Structure 1
Amino acid sequence: MPQIRRLPEALVNRIAAGEVVERPAAALKELVENSIDSGAARITVKIIDGGLTRIEVTDDGCGMSPEQMALALERHATSKLPDEAIEQVSTLGFRGEALPSIASVARFTLESRPKDAKQGWRKVTDHGELVEDGPAALPLGTRVRVENLFGKVPARRKFLRTARSEYGACLDVVRRLAMARSDIAISFEHGDRRVFSLQAGETIEMRVAEIVARELANNAVSINLERETPSGRLRLTGVAGLPTYNRGVADHQYLFVNGRPVKDRLLTGAVRGAYADMLARDRHAVLALFLEIPAEDVDVNVHPAKTEVRFRDSQAVRGFIVSGLRKALGTGDRRSAQSPDAAAMGRWQSEPAREEVSPAFRSIFEGRDWAQSRPSYVAESAREYNAQTGEVLAAPQGRAEMAEPLPKGSEEFPLGIARGQVANTYVVAEAADGLVIVDQHAAHERLVLERLRAAGAEDALKRSQALLMPEVVELEEVDCDRLEEGIPKMAELGLVLERFGPDAMLVRAVPHALGKANPHKLLQDIADDIAKHGDAILLGEKLDLVLATMACHGSVRAGRVLNVAEMNALLREMERTPRSGQCNHGRPTWVKLSMDDVEKLFGRH
């Protein structure tokens, strides 16, 4: 029979490297995390060719002695676990596998000098073999250089992507870690180009906006929420973009648990649930959330890369995040996307100076009896202006209120006082600090939706409608398992299920609003949704869609003429209603053009 033998240490390290270091970005993540754990105040990251040629990380942390450096290159040796309580770990890296794994598949240079040493030390390992060990001149701290990653492992090297793709992954890693620690100065260079340089001491809001997009600062709300639990305190902080500030992909959602960047489907599902009735299904929020939770309530040892976590009470965590986001958006989401679209603004054209007045221009203004009434003049001038082309232009649809001084106390009205209606669709208002344009249908649609909710319509939609004959739905066993775990939650939404054998579910009642839905398709969609997000978000979204449809049909339509009193009543109700800054599909309900922008259009600023 085949003999069982111990694998060589070098081969063991390469096997471990397959789990920890599958690409340059993974190696970079481990090195930057080590720098953060060392107490560094400044970290410099340099890569060449997306990390395929070189990765270099320099910090001013505590440093290591030669003896500690030797231990650091041995497997399962770490300074970050003072005892065996691995579930209480508070550092980013702690498994003791990263450095020996990287050293086994690259040329690895480790240089370090602790604060009490007069000189530093250098160790160089080439694919697991020590080739240099001696003193080195360097400042306090540590410098790690990784070159020719997988150079002697061609089977792994050929599966790496292009330098451009690997650079993108490295950039994402550094951005996430930099976002988590705004107290550390971090710079990132790719080749000869400095990508960014972040200063220490920034607020979370400043750091997030600087990394993600500067316009996020004006289109987001801050989050700061705490809740006491039997095991300790939950805290949620961060920045959440307004629903009107969204993206087509979810790659601008940054999630952190106890300072550790994670990609967790439960957290992603919670974000989706919080924005459920404010975004279309194909749009995604932009945000950075920092969750602090007692260490014993979360397991970070799920995967060697430590990007996945498990929560002891996942439903409580999800509910905390959803309520925290909704509360934050409820205080600041009366705002819309604060400035008009730049492309739209660019289409405003100033009239060029003319030496000769055109015939069309003369046809409107020359020989005119200015004493005649305005309505007939407007209609006649419109017809006369288009006489050359043979087209007849309908009278303009805009209606304006007599321009009077703003009444006292109008500065208390952020959306201003109505001045007129354009195209029977847009309300134009004058605020103390600019010009406001409101989409009357989108705005009223949101107001009606909030009224329906306040009146209990949401609960009415969820009310169960018992089936005359319970229906048996056959599904795969794994899907039935997922649905069985969510039976209590779905019962709250009006969907009453029972397990009916290993591969079937019994549907006894469905939500009143979905009485005509196909039970088999509904359950299959919910099972797929649970597999993707870890929770049955889809059912809630379906009910929200019904409620939003009711709100749409009950709201003021585009094209309806409003009088001034109705327009002002709409503006005042918008100012009182949460989430009035965006319609039920995430589009803005109003935009504001500041007086500075108006003056710029006319060259007065």
Structure 2
Amino acid sequence: MKPIRLLDNRLANQIAAGEVVERPASAVKELLENSIDAGAKRLTVEVESGGVKLIRIRDDGYGIPKDELALALSRHATSKISELEDLEGVATLGFRGEALASISSVSRLTLTSNVEEQESGWQVRVEGRDMEAQVMPAPHPVGTTIEVKDLFFNTPARRKFLRTEKTEFSHLEEVVKRLALSRFDVGFTLRHNQRSIHQLRPASTQAEKDRRVAALCGPKFIENAVIIDVDVSGLKLYGWVGLPTFSRASADLQYFFVNGRVIRDKLVGHAVRQAYRDVLYGGRHPTFVLYLELDPALVDVNVHPTKHEVRFRDGRTVHNFLF
């Protein structure tokens, strides 16, 4: 039996990347969440070959100072939490400080950023973390641009399990759709192989929000949905609920957000199915885009690496409220 020993940083990062970065869509999700947490109001996503060849994300957020650029690529480096108690009320989409380290360990990554206090931007490049991160000057407006090239170039086993370009882009587009539905105040642009896929302006009025939902979920959904808005005892539920006559054969038009974070939750799914049980038959599925807001301290988002699962402190109350 071989002796126990510590893994070197490169191997540890690649193992961690296996949990955080499953495919190009995973990388896009983590990077877009970082941009939104940095106060970005306009996001541009450009990808090539389904995101395997290139992912480029530009934002107009606060930016990263020169002296923090290299640190941003380190594992467990984050500005969002500093002590254990911070996890009890996480309001940001990201908080573990793993995304950039994981992505940079399995790609050729370039991070360019600028902040208001600096006269010019700065850039750092790494290739699979085999090279020391070196910071160099680079022109850039306030905000950040991240380029991820040749994803999984140094982990051929993982690259072998990727699907076709069409399938990978479909997953990636779904990530952008979910985030665009979660943040109406942010503009999103998505391009694939130099072709424009989505151009979504920030939406503030109800009519503008309806147009965004129609663009992402289809105009027929909006035409066959009712708007709900309920606020009871610190729990607020609002959004669009499809009429029973607009049910679907699969659960492919169901979006549920908790405090702005898209989630998949058995408790939520059961409550919604219960609400429709007397009007849907034959295995049909309801359609909805719903938002639940509650005190962040009442929901634990630190349950799964993808942050898609949550745990409610009082699940029964939430279930009864939804039902």
TM-score by length of 2: 0.95
> What is the identity, as a one-letter code, of the residue corresponding to 1:122?
Q
> What is the identity, as a one-letter code, of the residue corresponding to 1:218?
E
Residue by residue over 1:24-82, the C-alpha shift from the partner in whole angstroms, topping out at 9 and shown as x without a partner, is 11110000000100001100011111111111110000001121111111111101114
- Does the alignment pair 1:141 with 2:146? no
Rounded Cα–Cα distance in structure 2 between residues aligned with 1:314 and 1:206: 33
> What is the identity, as a one-letter code, of the residue corresponding to 2:210?
E
Secondary structure in 1 aligned to 2:175?
A: helix
Tell me: higher relative CO, structure 1 or 2? Use CA pairs within 8 A at least 6 residues apart: 2
Rounded Cα–Cα distance in structure 2 between residues aligned with 1:59 and 1:177: 14
1:90 aligned partner: 91
1:377 aligned partner: none
1:55 aligned partner: 55
Secondary structure in 1 aligned to 2:269?
A: helix
Q: Within 5 Å, which residues of 2 pair with 1:93-492? A: 93-130=94-131, 132-202=134-204, 203=206, 204-228=209-233, 233-322=234-323
Rounded Cα–Cα distance in structure 2 between residues aligned with 1:205 and 1:286: 15
Contact 2:46 2:194 in 1 (8 A): no
Rounded Cα–Cα distance in structure 1 between residues aligned with 2:8 and 2:236: 46
Contact 1:109 1:125 in 2 (8 A): yes
Secondary structure in 2 aligned to 1:33?
A: helix
Rounded Cα–Cα distance in structure 1 between residues aligned with 2:6 and 2:203: 50
Residue by residue over 1:485-529, the C-alpha shift from the partner in whole angstroms, topping out at 9 and shown as x without a partner, is xxxxxxxxxxxxxxxxxxxxxxxxxxxxxxxxxxxxxxxxxxxxx
Secondary structure in 1 aligned to 2:61?
A: coil
Which runs of no fewer than 5 residues in structure 2 stay unpaired?
none
1:6 aligned partner: 6
Residue by residue over 1:548-568, the C-alpha shift from the partner in whole angstroms, topping out at 9 and shown as x without a partner, is xxxxxxxxxxxxxxxxxxxxx
Contact 1:205 1:239 in 2 (8 A): no
Rounded Cα–Cα distance in structure 2 between residues aligned with 1:269 and 1:189: 36
Rounded Cα–Cα distance in structure 2 between residues aligned with 1:100 and 1:179: 27
Contact 1:109 1:124 in 2 (8 A): yes
Residue by residue over 1:148-172, the C-alpha shift from the partner in whole angstroms, topping out at 9 and shown as x without a partner, is 1111111111011111111010011
The Cα of 1:4 is off from its aligned counterpart by 2.1
Rounded Cα–Cα distance in structure 1 between residues aligned with 2:52 and 2:293: 35
Contact 1:245 1:285 in 2 (8 A): yes
Secondary structure in 1 aligned to 2:148?
A: strand
Secondary structure in 2 aligned to 1:263?
A: coil
Secondary structure in 1 aligned to 2:125?
A: strand
2:30 aligned partner: 30
TM-score by length of 1: 0.51
> What is the identity, as a one-letter code, of the residue corresponding to 2:109?
F
Rounded Cα–Cα distance in structure 2 between residues aligned with 1:33 and 1:23: 16
Rounded Cα–Cα distance in structure 1 between residues aligned with 2:143 and 2:299: 32
Contact 2:70 2:135 in 1 (8 A): no
Rounded Cα–Cα distance in structure 1 between residues aligned with 2:54 and 2:111: 14
Contact 1:266 1:314 in 2 (8 A): yes
Rounded Cα–Cα distance in structure 2 between residues aligned with 1:199 and 1:58: 15
The Cα of 1:3 is off from its aligned counterpart by 2.6
The Cα of 1:258 is off from its aligned counterpart by 0.7
Rounded Cα–Cα distance in structure 1 between residues aligned with 2:242 and 2:9: 49
The Cα of 1:207 is off from its aligned counterpart by 2.5
Secondary structure in 2 aligned to 1:188?
A: strand
Residue by residue over 1:255-281, the C-alpha shift from the partner in whole angstroms, topping out at 9 and shown as x without a partner, is 111100111122112111111111114
Residue by residue over 1:89-117, the C-alpha shift from the partner in whole angstroms, topping out at 9 and shown as x without a partner, is 11001100000000000001101001121
> What is the identity, as a one-letter code, of the residue corresponding to 1:27?
A
Rounded Cα–Cα distance in structure 2 between residues aligned with 1:280 and 1:293: 32
- Does the alignment pair 1:80 with 2:80? yes
Residue by residue over 1:171-198, the C-alpha shift from the partner in whole angstroms, topping out at 9 and shown as x without a partner, is 1100000100000111111112111111
Contact 1:205 1:222 in 2 (8 A): no
The Cα of 1:235 is off from its aligned counterpart by 0.6
Which runs of no fewer than 5 residues in structure 1 stay unpaired?
323-605
Task: Pick closer, same or farther for the CA change 1:22–1:98 going to 2, 3 Å.
Answer: same
Contact 2:107 2:151 in 1 (8 A): yes
> What is the identity, as a one-letter code, of the residue corresponding to 1:305?
T
Rounded Cα–Cα distance in structure 2 between residues aligned with 1:221 and 1:112: 42
Contact 2:109 2:146 in 1 (8 A): yes
Contact 1:43 1:184 in 2 (8 A): yes
Q: Within 5 Å, which residues of 2 pair with 1:510-529? A: none
Contact 2:69 2:135 in 1 (8 A): no
2:46 aligned partner: 46
Contact 1:225 1:237 in 2 (8 A): yes
- The structure having more radius of gyration, on CA atoms, is 1
Contact 2:27 2:103 in 1 (8 A): yes
Contact 1:248 1:283 in 2 (8 A): yes
Residue by residue over 1:420-476, the C-alpha shift from the partner in whole angstroms, topping out at 9 and shown as x without a partner, is xxxxxxxxxxxxxxxxxxxxxxxxxxxxxxxxxxxxxxxxxxxxxxxxxxxxxxxxx
Rounded Cα–Cα distance in structure 1 between residues aligned with 2:93 and 2:159: 27
> What is the identity, as a one-letter code, of the residue corresponding to 1:215?
K
Task: Pick closer, same or farther for the CA change 1:156–1:39 going to 2, 3 Å.
Answer: same
Rounded Cα–Cα distance in structure 2 between residues aligned with 1:192 and 1:70: 30
> What is the identity, as a one-letter code, of the residue corresponding to 2:306?
A
> What is the identity, as a one-letter code, of the residue corresponding to 2:36?
I
> What is the identity, as a one-letter code, of the residue corresponding to 1:207?
R
Contact 1:208 1:239 in 2 (8 A): no
